[in-house]
C-alpha cells in the first residue's frame, strides 16, 4: 500500500523533496496575489470601513485552526487503529501549526472585535470554544514532551486529540446553537455564499495560500522528526555496543 510505503523515511524524504518546491512556490504566489486582492482590489465595507480587511487573515486562520485539529484527530485515529508510524508523526507535526493558526485567529479576532463590538473580548460560545481549542493544542504538545517513551506519548496524545475533537463541531455550529456576537456562516452555505465576489475571491485565495503553507511546514516538520528519530535510534544502538 502507498500509505505503508511512506512509513519508510527514505521514500518519504524523496517524495517530500519532489512536492515541497512546488508548494513553496504556490504559497508565495498565492500569498502575494491574495494580499494584493485583499489590500488593494477588495473594497472597504460600507459599515466596517477599512477594518474589514482583517477578515482576509482572520477567517482563513480560523478555518485552518479547525482543519489542522481535524487532520490531527484523523491522523491520531489512524495511528491508534492501524499503528502507522507516519500518522503519529503527522499528528505531532500538525499541532504547533494548528496552535499558531488558532493564536492568529484569536488575536486578529480581538483586533477586529474592538471597532466592531467595542470590546476586545467577550465570553461567548464561539470565542470561548476557540480558546479551548488553543488550550487543546498546547495540552497535546505538552503531553508529547511530558512522557519520555515515544510510543506511550504517541498513544496518550492520540487519545487526547480524539477526545478533544468534540470541540470542533461545537466551534462550527456555535453561532447556530447559541446567541453570539459572531454572524452566521456567510461562505459555506447550502444556498451559496452570502459575501460579495469582490471580497469572496480574495478570501478564498488567502485561504488557499494558508493551506499550501500548511503543507510546506507539515512536510518539513515530518522530515525533521524522521531525522531526529533516526539519530536517536543510532545513539541508542551505539550505547548498547
**What DSSP character marks residue 195?**
S
Q: Please report whether residue 97 resides in a domain.
A: yes
Q: Which residues contact 16 (CB under 8 A, 6 or more apart)?
A: 219, 220, 222, 223
Whole-angstrom Cα Rg for the chain: 20
Tens-digit pLDDT profile for residues 88-130:
999 999 999 999 999 999 999 998 887 777 788 788 888 999 9
Predicted pLDDT of residue 67: 97
* Contact yes or no for 213/60 (Cβ under 8 A): no
Domain total for the chain? 1
Range of the domain at 148: 58-181+200-241
83: in domain: yes
**Residue 11 maps to a domain:** no
27 found inside a domain: no
- Give the least confident one: 40-44, 95-99, 100-104, 179-183: 179-183
Cβ atoms of 157 and 112 within 8 Å: the answer is no
**Residue 77: which pLDDT band, with cuts at 50, 70 and 90?**
very high
Distance CA 52, CA 202 (A): 12
Q: Considering the domain boundaries, does residue 52 fall inside one?
A: no
**How distant, in Å, are the alpha carbons of 6, 124, 153 from that of 143?**
26, 28, 7
Residue 144 lies in a domain: yes
For the segment 42-51, the average pLDDT, to the nearest whole number, is 79
Half-sphere exposure of 226 (CA within 13 A, CB side): 20
Q: Tell me whether residue 41 is in a domain.
A: no
What per-residue string of b and e applies to 185-217 under the rule 16 or more CB within 10 Å gives b?
eeeeeeeeeeeeeebebbbbbbbbbbbbbbbbb
Residue 19 falls inside a structural domain: no
Amino acid at each position: 500500500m502507498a500509505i505503508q510505503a511512506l512509513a519508510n523515511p527514505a521514500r518519504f524524504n524523496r517524495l517530500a523533496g519532489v512536492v515541497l518546491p512546488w508548494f513553496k512556490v504556490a504559497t508565495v504566489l498565492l500569498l502575494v496575489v491574495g494580499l494584493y486582492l485583499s489590500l488593494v482590489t477588495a473594497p472597504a465595507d460600507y459599515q466596517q470601513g477599512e477594518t474589514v480587511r482583517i477578515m482576509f487573515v482572520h477567517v482563513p486562520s480560523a478555518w485552518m485552526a479547525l482543519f489542522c485539529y481535524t487532520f490531527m484527530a484523523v491522523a491520531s485515529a489512524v495511528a491508534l487503529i492501524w499503528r502507522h508510524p507516519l500518522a503519529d508523526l503527522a499528528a505531532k507535526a500538525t499541532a504547533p501549526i494548528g496552535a499558531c493558526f488558532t493564536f492568529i485567529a484569536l488575536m486578529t479576532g480581538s483586533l477586529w472585535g474592538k471597532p466592531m463590538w467595542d470590546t476586545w473580548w467577550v465570553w461567548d460560545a464561539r470565542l470561548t470554544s476557540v480558546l479551548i481549542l488553543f488550550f487543546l493544542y498546547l495540552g497535546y504538545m505538552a503531553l508529547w514532551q511530558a512522557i519520555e517513551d515515544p510510543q506511550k506519548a504517541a498513544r496518550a496524545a492520540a487519545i487526547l486529540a480524539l477526545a478533544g475533537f468534540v470541540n470542533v463541531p461545537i466551534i462550527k455550529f456555535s453561532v447556530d446553537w447559541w446567541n453570539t456576537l459572531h454572524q452566521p456562516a456567510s461562505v459555506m452555505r447550502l444556498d451559496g455564499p452570502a459575501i460579495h465576489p469582490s471580497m469572496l475571491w480574495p478570501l478564498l485565495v488567502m485561504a488557499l495560500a494558508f493551506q499550501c503553507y500548511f503543507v510546506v511546514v507539515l512536510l518539513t516538520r515530518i522530515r525533521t522528526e524522521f531525522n531526529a528519530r533516526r539519530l536517536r535510534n543510532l545513539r541508542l544502538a551505539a550505547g548498547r555496543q
